[in-house]
């Protein structure tokens, strides 16, 4: 029975496949048509963003989708090339090879395979909980900055000028220096395509519904706007010979299904890409699992983060062996898949079939596709990722989170993509350590007429001069152990009448070895001054851990089940009257 359960966990199709019927097939097919229409221009555009030939984007949208469908736990997550991972891929392979070169393609394959192997390893070790280590403000700040950086980097294709740079400052300076070379025909194509796509996102569906079209058909037509932009601009480029007028075209795209590729095993290349692959792995997984959890909750379903690691790992390994580059679950694409009625991961397999047919029959039509159209597609898509409201919300709620968000945005924009996310994660960890190194510790007293104890600085409470009740509102570990020592010794030194100290521990979920040693020091030092140390409301798992040492045996006082019980017994023993 246990072996069967493990098999079901590692092979999700055995779960959803048993329920598969005609209705699910119909819904998955219709969703696949919509996502395929959306994915074709996106795949081409994101490949260009990653510094790779356009067909690589199509290749990354075939076998990776099948790999995820076979091993992922989400019913509606749509996997493929996404903007942020494409930007990180460009930054990674830009260190080892020129954009668009054979070496860049080889580096992209290694990057995909490395990321896939890392994801699989994390999945096998059941480390899906690591997604919780990246705070939402840091991820939001990184995605916002990446959106700005991506949009800025595509302006050169809209203007038709040569420009370069990896930071916002470098890109801006390069654009200003080359602005005089702007090609008016390229500008017209790019601005026109961007305006059309923006309007399509905002108002086309509503307009179509008002004309009498059914909501689902109107939605399909609106989602097809990028394909319409590709068709119209390609036809215009062919009809008016825009290539001869300086408009850069995509050119010849190889026709056929993805080739079987074997990533090169060059130790130096693997080592140089390892850090970038790790960052892509973490960012891609966090983005993907966030989308998957959000959409699953809307249908009262659940995903398994560990299984998601395996599914995304399989997708990236498939990308590495089929001419692609790193992929993950995309937000906009997954929402479209969800809204289109997809019921199972089979929709991803049908989408892969659709993309495969496109590589077989549609690639000759891309010969006259202006690069400015793909740039417009990217700009309109990524600007929806920019969310400056996170700055105002974090400033209002938590200055520490505001600092982490701001540092992430500024570092990503002006230093680099990899430095940006690393800075955000590092600062978040430092802020966490700082916060927990100075935990909230309160002297508490009894609320009159009750068995409740509250902060003496916030409530009118009753205390006993001989009893010092201290509530610790944080787990005790190496970073805050000395803080508690100094806090207690200072209080006892300023209150010579104190004969008992009670540590109230309802919020203490763990005590590590460093904190245990501090408690032993507190117990010993207080005993030398005639003060007895007690503990109250210690949680079961914490008490179990304390009993593994001899701390309880050497404790000068007792461990009480409730704080009220401790105070009452100690007051009865002292014979003193309480004071307000």
Q: What is the mean pLDDT of the chain?
A: 90
* H helical segments located in 299-416: 305-320, 331-339, 346-361, 371-383, 389-397, 399-414
pTM above 0.85, yes or no: no
Q: What is the pLDDT of residue 3?
A: 46
* 559-560/441-446 β-pairing: unpaired
Query: Alpha-carbon torsion 212, 215, 221, 222, what sign?
Result: positive
* 79-80/328-329 β-pairing: antiparallel
Residue 49 token pair:
């963003």
Per-residue pLDDT for 333 more than 60?
yes
Per-residue pLDDT for 155 more than 90?
yes
Q: What is the pLDDT of residue 7?
A: 47
Which residues on adjacent β-strands are paired with residue 386? none
CA distance 162 to 184: 14
| Structure confidence by residue, pLDDT tens digits, 9-60 | 557 888 787 778 888 899 899 889 989 988 899 999 999 999 999 999 999 9
| Structure confidence by residue, pLDDT tens digits, 526-566 | 999 999 999 999 999 999 999 999 999 999 999 999 999 99
Q: What is the pLDDT of residue 372?
A: 95
CA distance 75 to 78: 9
Domain boundaries, the chain: 2-428, 441-574
| Structure confidence by residue, pLDDT tens digits, 112-128 | 999 999 999 999 998 88
Say if domain 441-574 classifies as CATH 3.30.750.24: yes
Instruction: Report the candidate in 576, 573, 580, 575 with the shortest Cα–Cα distance to residue 558.
Output: 573
Q: What is the pLDDT of residue 204?
A: 84
Q: What is the pLDDT of residue 574?
A: 56
Residue 335 token pair:
């929402």
- The residues, any chain, with a CB within 8 Å of residue 93's CB and separated by 6 or more, are 50, 51, 99, 104, 107, 108, 111, 273
Within 456-558, strands assigned E span 467-472, 500-504, 532-536
Q: Do 373 and 229 contact (CB within 8 A), yes or no?
A: yes
Q: Percent of the chain at pLDDT above 70?
A: 97
Q: What is the pLDDT of residue 575?
A: 44
Which range has the worst mean pLDDT, 164-173, 202-211, 351-360, 441-450? Answer: 202-211
pLDDT band for position 107 (cuts 50, 70, 90): very high
Q: What is the pLDDT of residue 424?
A: 83
| Structure confidence by residue, pLDDT tens digits, 180-227 | 999 999 999 999 999 999 998 888 888 888 888 888 778 778 878 888
| Structure confidence by residue, pLDDT tens digits, 238-283 | 999 999 999 999 999 899 999 999 999 899 999 999 999 999 999 9
| Structure confidence by residue, pLDDT tens digits, 69-100 | 999 999 999 999 999 999 999 999 998 999 88
pLDDT band for position 580 (cuts 50, 70, 90): very low
Q: What is the pLDDT of residue 1?
A: 46
> Which DSSP letter does residue 180 get?
G
C-beta neighbour count of 9 within 10 angstroms: 15
Both ends of the chain: CA-CA distance in Å?
63
Q: What is the pLDDT of residue 215?
A: 81
The radius of gyration of the chain's CA atoms, rounded to the nearest angstrom, is 30
Residue with tokens 């469908």: 69
Q: What is the pLDDT of residue 6?
A: 52
DSSP code per residue over 97-148? S-TTSHHHHHHHHHHHHHHHHHHHHHHHTT-GGGGGGS-HHHHHHHHHHHHH
| Structure confidence by residue, pLDDT tens digits, 131-146 | 677 778 888 899 899 9
CA distance 372 to 194: 9
């Amino acid at each position: 029975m246990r072996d069967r359960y493990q098999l079901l966990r590692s092979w999700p199709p055995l779960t959803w496949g048993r329920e598969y019927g005609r209705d699910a097939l119909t819904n998955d097919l219709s969703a696949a048509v919509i996502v395929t229409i959306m994915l074709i221009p996106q795949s081409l555009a994101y490949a260009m963003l990653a510094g790779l030939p356009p067909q690589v984007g199509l290749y990354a949208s075939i076998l990776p989708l099948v790999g995820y469908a076979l091993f992922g736990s989400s019913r509606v997550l749509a996997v493929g090339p996404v903007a942020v991972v494409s930007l990180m891929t460009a930054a990674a392979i830009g260190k080892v090879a020129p954009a668009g070169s054979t070496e860049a393609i080889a580096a992209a394959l290694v990057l995909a395979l490395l990321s896939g192997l890392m994801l699989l390893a994390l999945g096998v070790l059941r480390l899906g909980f690591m997604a919780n280590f990246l705070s939402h403000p840091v991820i939001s700040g990184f995605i916002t900055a990446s959106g700005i950086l991506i949009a800025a980097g595509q302006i050169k294709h809209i203007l038709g000028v040569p420009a370069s740079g990896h930071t916002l400052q470098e890109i801006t300076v390069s654009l200003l220096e080359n602005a005089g070379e702007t090609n008016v025909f390229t500008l017209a194509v790019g601005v026109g395509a961007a305006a059309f796509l923006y309007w399509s996102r905002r108002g086309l569906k509503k307009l179509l519904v008002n004309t009498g079209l059914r909501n689902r058909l109107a939605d399909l037509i609106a989602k097809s706007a990028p394909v319409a932009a590709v068709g119209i601009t390609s036809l215009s480029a062919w009809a008016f010979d825009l290539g001869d007028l300086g408009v850069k075209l995509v050119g010849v795209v190889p026709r056929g299904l993805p080739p079987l590729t074997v990533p090169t095993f060059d130790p130096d290349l693997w080592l140089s890409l390892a850090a970038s692959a790790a960052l892509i792995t973490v960012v891609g997984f966090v983005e993907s699992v966030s989308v998957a959890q959000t959409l699953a909750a809307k249908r009262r379903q659940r995903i398994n983060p560990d299984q998601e690691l395996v599914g995304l790992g399989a997708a990236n390994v498939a990308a590495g062996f089929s001419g692609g580059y790193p992929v993950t679950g995309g937000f906009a694409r997954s929402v479209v898949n969800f809204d289109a009625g997809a019921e199972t991961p089979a929709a991803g397999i049908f989408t892969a079939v659709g993309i495969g047919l496109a590589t077989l029959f549609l690639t000759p039509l891309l010969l006259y596709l202006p690069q400015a159209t793909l740039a417009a597609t990217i700009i309109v898509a990524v600007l929806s990722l920019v969310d400056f409201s996170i700055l105002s919300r974090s400033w209002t709620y938590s200055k520490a989170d505001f600092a982490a968000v701001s540092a992430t945005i500024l570092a990503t924009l002006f230093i680099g993509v990899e430095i940006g996310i690393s800075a955000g994660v590092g600062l978040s960890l430092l802020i966490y350590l700082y916060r927990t190194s100075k935990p909230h510790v309160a002297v508490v007293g009894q609320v009159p007429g009750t068995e409740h104890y509250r902060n003496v600085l916030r409530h009118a409470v009753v205390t006993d001069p001989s009893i010092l009740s201290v509530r610790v509102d944080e787990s005790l570990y190496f970073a805050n152990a000395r803080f508690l020592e100094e806090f207690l010794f200072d209080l006892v030194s300023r209150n010579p009448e104190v004969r008992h100290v009670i540590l109230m521990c309802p919020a203490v979920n763990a005590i590590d070895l460093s904190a245990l040693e501090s408690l032993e020091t507190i117990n010993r030092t207080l005993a030398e001054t005639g003060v007895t140390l007690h503990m109250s409301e210690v949680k079961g798992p914490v008490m179990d851990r304390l009993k593994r040492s001899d701390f309880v045996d050497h404790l000068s006082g007792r461990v009480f089940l409730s704080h009220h019980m401790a105070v009452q017994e100690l007051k009865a023993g002292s014979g003193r009257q309480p004071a307000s």
